[in-house]
Structure 1
Amino acid sequence: MQSTASPTNLSLITSSFHALSDPIRVKLLELLREQELCVCELCEVLEVSQSKLSFHLKTLKEASLVRARQEGRWVYYSLNLPQFVLLEQYLADYRRFSPILPARPCSD
């Protein structure tokens, strides 16, 4: 079985986790779970300026979590599902090889 942690994948995994560390970016991903949306729709739903949203979308795009598609003067965004599969496989490697210990009761 090939490890998901090749040097190229490690860079993508690292940038993906960084991208997932911001609440606005997580909200963006949640909105894109349902359908492809244009920037104007995302701005309206999230009630943020286009410049602020562009920064967050750029971060998600650099992490390969979203794809952009130009149609006329609008840019439409959708999830890049293969990147989520890569993250899922990376995390599954830990689950598979590390025993999950039951929670220990707190002692006062």
Structure 2
Amino acid sequence: MNPTDVFAALANDTRLRCLVLLVEHDELCVCELTHAIGAAQPHVSRHLAQLRELGLVSDRREGLWVYYRIHRALPDWARSVLKETASGVRAQPPFAADAQALDRMPNRPSAQGCARATR
């Protein structure tokens, strides 16, 4: 994993916000990330695909939904960077608002699926 690519990924607002949420949660559906960040699904999905290509996140499909998590094979140095970054910014805007929006999201995938949450 190239450190320049990792830090370039962190330099983008959407990717950084997704990564902070993923550090704080084991796994999130794309619909949860779009709800929390308040961005359109294609925009968030495009950035998640970039993170996946870099090896920062992995995904899995369940029916129509795609779930993302921090990649389990992430090198220790990169995992430490993500954890320290999340720890340092979690109380700052927009990261605190993202976490609150996610906590308030109705019909999260762990319940019935996120189809109703995105309509």
Q: Which TM class, normalised by the smaller chain length?
A: 0.5 to 0.7
| CA distance in 2: counterparts of 1:35 and 1:27, whole angstroms | 15
- Runs of 4+ in structure 1 off by over 4 angstroms are none
Deviation, structure 1 residue 13:
2.8
Pairwise CA distance, 1:35: 2.2
Specify the alignment match of 1:21 in structure 2: 11
Counterparts of 1:16 and 1:86 in 2: how far apart (Å)? Answer: 11
Please tell me whether residue 85 in structure 1 is matched to residue 76 in structure 2.
yes
CA shift, 1:15, in A, is 2.1
So what's the TM-score if we normalise by structure 2? 0.59
Report what 2:38 is aligned to: 47
Residue number in structure 2 paired with 1:31: 21
Q: What is the Cα-based RMSD across aligned positions, in Å?
A: 1.9
2:60 aligned with 1:69, yes or no?
yes
| Structure of larger gyration radius | 1
Decide whether the 8 Å contact of 1:65 with 1:84 is kept in 2.
Answer: no
TM-score by length of structure 1 reads 0.64
- Structure 1: stretches of 5+ with no match in the other structure: 1-8, 90-108
Unaligned stretches of 5+ residues in structure 2: 81-119
Deviation at 1:88, TM superposition (A): 6.3
Higher RCO (CA-CA < 8 Å; seq separation 6+): 2
